[in-house]
Structure 1
Amino acid sequence: MSFQQGLSGLNGAAKSLDVIGNNVANASTVGFKQSQTQFADMYANSMNRSGNSPVGIGVTVANVAQQFTQGNISSSNNPLDIAINGDGFFQMSASASDLSPMYGRNGQFQLDKNGYIINPSMNGAFLMGWAAGASGGDPVQLQIDTSSIPATPTTSVSTKVNLDSRLAVPTVTPFNAADPNSYNNSTGVTLYDSLGNPYSMQTYYVKAAPTGTPPTTTWTVYAKIDNTTLNDGATPPAPVALGTMTYDSTGTLTQINGAAVTPTSVMTLTAAQLNDPSIVKGGGNFAAPINFSYAGSTQTGSAFVNLAQNQNGMPPGTLSSFSIDKDGTIVGSYSNQQTKNLGTVVLVNFANPNGLQPLGNNLYAATGAAGSPLVGKPSTGTFGSLQARAVEDSNVDLTAELVNMIVAQRVYQANSQTIKVQDTVLQTLVSLR
């Protein structure tokens, strides 16, 4: 008389209840992947496979398989929270000195005191990725560089204006920045020296009477930096023009400083002019001249307007915030309105994720059964995309798990009943006289 089938059924049902209980317990664990108990039947066989019994000897737990299906994505207020939408795992390392790779999908990250991105719910594991400027190679521990961006001195200014052809020649000469009757219009731009000191520069446009047939019109451009008008350095000083622009009868810019316009035509402020002691301040200087481009400027019978203007200098900037794009790029935003790549979060995928070995704390280790780890940039190939300020919820379906629990409970009761029947049969045999 055998109790094997009933006992194996009890053990299998108990194992199934353990797995279901673990799933239910982790229903609110971010990034958790539910498990499923997989069973197989057992038959008694001899070594040469003869003498098979048509009656099995019970059930065995063949595998406890993780179900790596996508969990729901919920938004959060933490800018470092990251959810994976699609395939892939974050690569983590246990500590600053232990770089042995581990993998997980819990994206609840924070910064430690040294600027490293860690996951407290993964026992403080370090997030791995590519350092700023790298686009491949072995992942390293990601560290946010909080150093400031140095100042960049201005070396070029691009201005695009429309000059009003209907305006009369100024009634006052020579040009005087303090007298609006000595010029027609003006624009302003901020320049920066080697230390990021700002300088307010005004450019003034003075129209000359049209000449020739068909007529051409020349506009002289003067400049004033802070309170100093560009001048010849004489006593008393006389204003010096930055340059001239000549337009033909169609309103097209044809000459800069009396020479035919080319793609490289500019007006230039020399380094000597810029480094005039009455201009520079705060210990900064201009190591190079500043070129002024007026490409695309026009002269028409409509009001003066500054169509576009930009310059390439900037003051120093401190890191004010950072964000993570869907392709894993960590973008730092600085107080000078500049952005900078601070690193890239990478994803790792496996041919058989079910071959990963669970380590606890929502972490897994690679095994031979999982296949070689494939490292790549999010949103490329088979890798999923990242969503910042969000986390991936557990993929446990509580309703289904509670139903499975009821079924496993009934299976346990049924197997216990077979043991009871076997006991009754055995008792009957023992009682024979």
Structure 2
Amino acid sequence: MMGIYNALFTGASGLKAFGESVRVIGDNIANVNSLGFKSQNMQFSSVLSQTIGVTKANIANQVGGGVKIGQIAQDNRQGSVQNTTNPTDMAINGNGLFALKDPASGQTFYTRAGSFILDKNSNLIDGQGNVVQGWATNTTGLATGNITNITFANSSAQAQATTKVTAGVTIDATAPIVNAPAFDPADPTTYSYKTQVNAYDSLGSVHPVNIYYSKTAANQWSWHAGASSVDLIGGGATPESLVVGPNAYNVANPALPPGVGGVGQPGVQITKGTKFNVDVTIDGAALPAGTAVAVGTKTAAGGIVATPTPAQAALTLQVTRGNVMTPVAAGTANSQSLAFGNTGELTVERSPLVNFQWKSAVASTIQFNFGAATTTDSTGITGTGFDGTVQMAGSFATSKMTTDGFASGFLDKLDTDSTGTIYGVFTNGQRRPMFQVALAKFSNDAVLTKVGNNLQQQTIASGAPILEKPSNGGMGSITPFGLEQSNVDLGTEFVKLIVSQRGYEANSKTILTTDQMLSSLMQLKR
């Protein structure tokens, strides 16, 4: 009798177990489109058996007591990644969970669902308002400091003054030699070609800077750089010097009018002289603050060097009014010069620093780079001579003109890479790293507590989280513009559903058969 009654409970345990199995399978099927969802599989376990006797060989005869739920195991296999158009959507390829913090309660949650947006305060959040955790980065993208909320409030890019200009220009080898007495930016006959680049001061204001190229001899060029007098206090290019030759000449009272950009250009050129004396007189009202007068000597192409020493050439400066600076200069005629080889390659580049005295900001010094010459250039680099400015027969053309300066700007959009580094793209065209997302791992991710909304929390069994950067410490990488889908396999779930259904039916048969047996027993009384 007891065995028959126990059979009823055995069948009932089967109904309960397979009913729960269908529930787990149904949950998997229901979450087939849930982001980052991991399917579960119910594992059965036998109930404690009952010993009903012992054989002569001292072997116990045991009968099972039915079935129960042994464990509901989580399948942590990678889900497929679906591409999106949102730059803050991220999918984890490999191990790890995103760390999120509830700003109200301070609780930390973990998820594989990387669908993130910016809230009204520019915090990076999930759909429930939990803030994504990560590290702030420096300008090189290196994560620094402690884990913090990822927020882009008050993000801006400060202006950076231009310190370097890189020019790639094709110079016409067939251009005629410029025979003008002196370079004058206001006179197009004193130069062969002009191009322009925008330079930024320390406040982010933009100033057009003109670069002039003058052919001085075959394969020989000089260059000048200057800005408008509207932008400058004074000095936009290296001041030009009077040029001397083999025979002496006397010039009485040559006028030296100030040139465009505040740089005085010589009003007369002295040629064919071996030595000379120069008296400079500044007439009229007092000079404005910041005005300077420089006198020196340099040689023209094919000339000689005249250094201002008593043995070679004497320079005398007489000033009747104003502040005076008297530097001594010696060197080649075109300290700002370019030379080319027979195949058009840049063989010599002389590019001294050019100082700009901006009216609206502090002065800045700009290095002009015309390419890596075949001989060591002003930056100490030797190259092929073809990576920047070259000389070819044909027309002038500017192929490249870049600077390292920029105006201030505000955050325009975000961008993410495979390391989880989030870049800010600003209205001034700059792109800089700002944050790197944190990934968490546990000793056992499968035993985290599910709290809904694709979120999980740590448990005693899971252990404490270890926070690492993507692609480091066994963590997976990040797929930007992507979301991890559920790893539920519908085909497998349907097969398990059929098995569970048949198992449930079979256990119901156990109960039905036992009931019939009990009915037969009750009929014995008749």
- Scaled to the shorter chain, the TM-score interval is 0.7 to 0.9
Change (3 A) 1:370 1:313: same
Letter in 2 for 1:410: R
Compute the displacement of 1:117 (Å): 1.3
| Alignment correspondent of 1:236 | 257
Is the contact made by 2:425 and 2:432 (CA closer than 8 Å) also made in structure 1? yes
Aligned equivalents of 1:161 and 1:409: distance in 2? Answer: 78
Instruction: Write the deviation string for residues 347-387 of structure 1: whole angstroms up to 9, x where unpaired.
Output: 22233222222222211122233344232222335322222
Aligned equivalents of 2:508 and 2:468: distance in 1? Answer: 51
Letter in 1 for 2:521: L
Change (3 A) 1:179 1:318: same
Instruction: Write the deviation string for residues 24-70 of structure 1: whole angstroms up to 9, x where unpaired.
Output: 22222121111111111123369xxx995422111110111111112
User: 1:6-45 residue pairs with structure 2 within 5 A?
Assistant: 6-44=11-49
User: What is the number of equivalent residue pairs in this alignment?
Assistant: 404
Change (3 A) 1:333 1:299: closer
| Alignment correspondent of 1:115 | 122
Letter in 2 for 1:116: N
Is the contact made by 1:222 and 1:230 (CA closer than 8 Å) also made in structure 2? no
Letter in 2 for 1:193: D
Alignment equivalent of 1:77, drawn from 82, 85, 110:
85
Aligned equivalents of 1:295 and 1:419: distance in 2? Answer: 91
Letter in 1 for 2:156: S
Aligned equivalents of 1:248 and 1:85: distance in 2? Answer: 53
Change (3 A) 1:66 1:311: same
| 1:86 lines up with 2:131 in the alignment | no
Compute the displacement of 1:21 (Å): 1.7
| Alignment correspondent of 1:415 | 507
| Alignment correspondent of 1:270 | 355
Is the contact made by 2:35 and 2:483 (CA closer than 8 Å) also made in structure 1? yes
> In terms of mean alpha carbon deviation, does 32-41 or 200-209 score higher?
200-209
**3-state SS of 1:29 partner:** coil
Alignment equivalent of 2:9, drawn from 1, 4, 21:
4
Compute the displacement of 1:4 (Å): 2.3
Alignment equivalent of 1:174, drawn from 161, 174, 182:
182
Is the contact made by 1:34 and 1:67 (CA closer than 8 Å) also made in structure 2? yes
| Alignment correspondent of 2:470 | 378
Compute the displacement of 1:301 (Å): 5.8
Alignment equivalent of 2:167, drawn from 146, 152, 159:
159
Change (3 A) 1:6 1:219: same
User: 1:326-341 residue pairs with structure 2 within 5 A?
Assistant: 326-341=418-433
| Alignment correspondent of 2:195 | 187
Compute the displacement of 1:299 (Å): 7.0
Letter in 2 for 1:186: K
Aligned equivalents of 1:310 and 1:125: distance in 2? Answer: 42
> In terms of mean alpha carbon deviation, does 246-255 or 129-138 score higher?
246-255
Aligned equivalents of 1:126 and 1:246: distance in 2? Answer: 57
TM-score (ref. length: structure 1)? 0.83
**3-state SS of 1:270 partner:** strand
Change (3 A) 1:380 1:302: farther
| 1:348 lines up with 2:440 in the alignment | yes
**3-state SS of 2:63 partner:** coil
Aligned equivalents of 1:60 and 1:368: distance in 2? Answer: 24
Aligned equivalents of 1:248 and 1:24: distance in 2? Answer: 73
Letter in 2 for 1:223: A
Question: Which has more radius of gyration?
Answer: 2
Is the contact made by 2:176 and 2:215 (CA closer than 8 Å) also made in structure 1? yes
Aligned equivalents of 2:338 and 2:493: distance in 1? Answer: 81
User: 1:125-274 residue pairs with structure 2 within 5 A?
Assistant: 125-133=130-138, 135=143, 138-159=146-167, 161=169, 163-164=171-172, 166-209=174-217, 219-226=221-228, 230=236, 236-238=257-259, 240=264, 243-245=335-337, 247=339, 253-254=347-348, 256=350, 266-271=351-356, 274=357
TM-score (ref. length: structure 2)? 0.69
Letter in 2 for 1:173: P
Compute the displacement of 1:254 (Å): 4.7
Change (3 A) 1:135 1:237: closer
Aligned equivalents of 1:230 and 1:127: distance in 2? Answer: 50
Instruction: Write the deviation string for residues 296-348 of structure 1: whole angstroms up to 9, x where unpaired.
Output: 35775645555654322111112111111111010111122211112011222
Q: What residue ranges of structure 1 are gaps of 5+ in the alignment? A: 211-216, 257-265
Is the contact made by 2:170 and 2:392 (CA closer than 8 Å) also made in structure 1? no
| 1:389 lines up with 2:481 in the alignment | yes
Aligned equivalents of 1:206 and 1:40: distance in 2? Answer: 92
Alignment equivalent of 1:358, drawn from 444, 447, 450:
450
Letter in 2 for 1:222: H
Percent identity, aligned pairs only, is: 33
Instruction: Write the deviation string for residues 115-159 of structure 1: whole angstroms up to 9, x where unpaired.
Output: 111111xx3322111123352665322112452211111223233
Alignment equivalent of 2:366, drawn from 286, 290, 295:
290
Is the contact made by 1:84 and 1:392 (CA closer than 8 Å) also made in structure 2? yes
Compute the displacement of 1:390 (Å): 2.0
| Alignment correspondent of 1:103 | 110
Change (3 A) 1:338 1:11: same
Instruction: Write the deviation string for residues 236-294 of structure 1: whole angstroms up to 9, x where unpaired.
Output: 324557953264877765573xxxxxxxxx423335xx23xxxx3xxx31333333344
Compute the displacement of 1:16 (Å): 0.7
Letter in 1 for 2:372: G
Change (3 A) 1:288 1:391: same
**3-state SS of 1:208 partner:** strand
Q: What residue ranges of structure 2 are gaps of 5+ in the alignment? A: 52-57, 241-254, 266-333, 374-388
- What is the RMSD computed on CA atoms of the aligned residues? 3.1
